[in-house]
Every structure is written in C-alpha cells, then in structure tokens.
Amino acid sequence: MIVLGIETSSTCGSVAVVQDRKVLGELFFNTGRKHSTKIVPSITNLLSTVELNKADLEGIAVTSGPGSYTSLRIGISIAKGLAYSLDIPLIGISTLQCVAFNSIISPHLICSLIDARKGELYSALFRYNTGELERMSEDQIVSIDYLCSTIDEKTVLIGDGLYLYKSTFVDRINGLVLFAPEHLCYGRASSCAILGIDNFKKAKRDEVNTLVPKYIRQADAELLGKR
C-alpha cells in the first residue's frame, strides 16, 4: 500500500511517501508555521523524485493535532482535498502518537510532550508491545507539576516540550526519565504515513467531511475571533 503522509503541526513541516512501511522519500520545510505555500509544491516534487503520480497513491495520512491551529487546518484541508479527488482512504493521526513513534523501541513507558504554551504541555503515554506502539493514555493537557508528580516508573520523554522543561525534569525526576535526542522530538510525515498504513490494515479510516483538527482545548485563534 502506498500512502502519502502530511505533517504540519509545528514550525517544521514534512511530506513523505511510504510503501508497506518502507519510506520511499521524505521532504522537510521549515516555514515558521506558514506551510500553505510549501505543502502542495513539496508533494509534487516528492512524487516526481520517487517516480510516482498522484494516481499511484492508495491512502492519505495527516497529523490531526494537537499543534499549531492554522498549520493543522492547512494540512488537513489539503489531505482532505487529495483524498476526495483521488477517492482514496484518509486518516488523521495524533501528533503525540506521531512523535512517540520516533522513539527507539524500548521496554520503558514513552511520554510524548508538545508545548501547549501558557506553561502547559500536551501529553500522551505509549509503550511498545511486541514491536508495535500501543497507546496507554488519551491525549491530554497537563501542567509540568502534574506531569512530574505522576511519573513513577522509568519513562522515555520525547517531543519539543521535553527541551522546554528539561531542567525541571532533571531537578525533579532525573532518576526516572530518559531524554530522547532533540532531532527525534518533532513529528515526521514518514511516521504519520506508517501509522496510517497500520490503521488502514485494520480497516480504520476517517471521513473527508468529518475529519477536523484536534486541539484538546479551544484554540486561541477561535477565542480571538469571538471577541
């Protein structure tokens, strides 16, 4: 199965083409969350590089949040348009799951962390079970104090939220946590596509008319618009 992955939740976006969990190609663009001008040309360039056409795609996977309000909407809008026009399945993948997938397979608990601003973190727990990433908690928003008080076993921390609060983790729970390398702490379109393939094989998919970004809390842009 050939799947296009789209990741636009942070300042560094990416697109990837994956066939049966093998990455055929991946392109990154760092546009400071202004991804609207880069996604479509990047998809075109990537497909040309791997010598495929849009008609060869059999599914679309896109990160659905949490993350940047505007960037998520852009990525999901393009993914929905492609899925509709090509009449292929679509699925949204949690950004926290996408980030956790980058972690080296280990027997330890994995805590995926994304900066939620206002002194809070988006967080979710995962664990590898027989080589597959298994979700251990729902995506949630937590304070740094709450997070430190609840970690009670050896845990791999991963995500951009890790390095914002690394000194706090070192001071308070250093003996319990392992820090993922910084280059693994951002979502990747290839991870999104692989997770999408895994879901498609289980007959899981989203509908084009119902897939929306998952913000966990109301986005600041929405709040400003209501003032």
* Residue 22 three-state SS: strand
Q: What is the pLDDT of residue 226?
A: 38
- Name the pTM for this structure: 0.91
Chain segment 96-139, per-residue pLDDT in tens: 999 999 997 888 999 999 999 888 999 999 999 988 899 999 99
Which residue among 184, 200, 215 closes a domain? Answer: 184
Q: How many domains does the chain have?
A: 2
Domain interval for residue 15: 2-96+186-225
Enter the tokens of residue 160: 């951009």
Q: How far apart are CA 69 and CA 135, in angstroms?
A: 24
Q: 110 near 100, Cβ under 8 Å?
A: yes
Judge if 124 and 199 occupy the same domain: no
Same domain, 27 and 44: yes
- CB neighbours (10 Å) of residue 167? 9
Q: What is the CATH number of the domain that holds 172?
A: 3.30.420.40
Which burial class, exposed, middle or buried, applies to 129 when counting CB atoms under 10 A from its CB (0-12, 13-18, 19+)?
Answer: exposed
Mean pLDDT of 137-158: 96
Residue type, 159: G
Residues 113, 83 share a domain: no
| Residue 75: predicted pLDDT | 96
d(CA 176, CA 53): 48
Whether 91 and 191 share a structural domain:
yes
Q: Are residues 120 and 91 in the same domain?
A: no
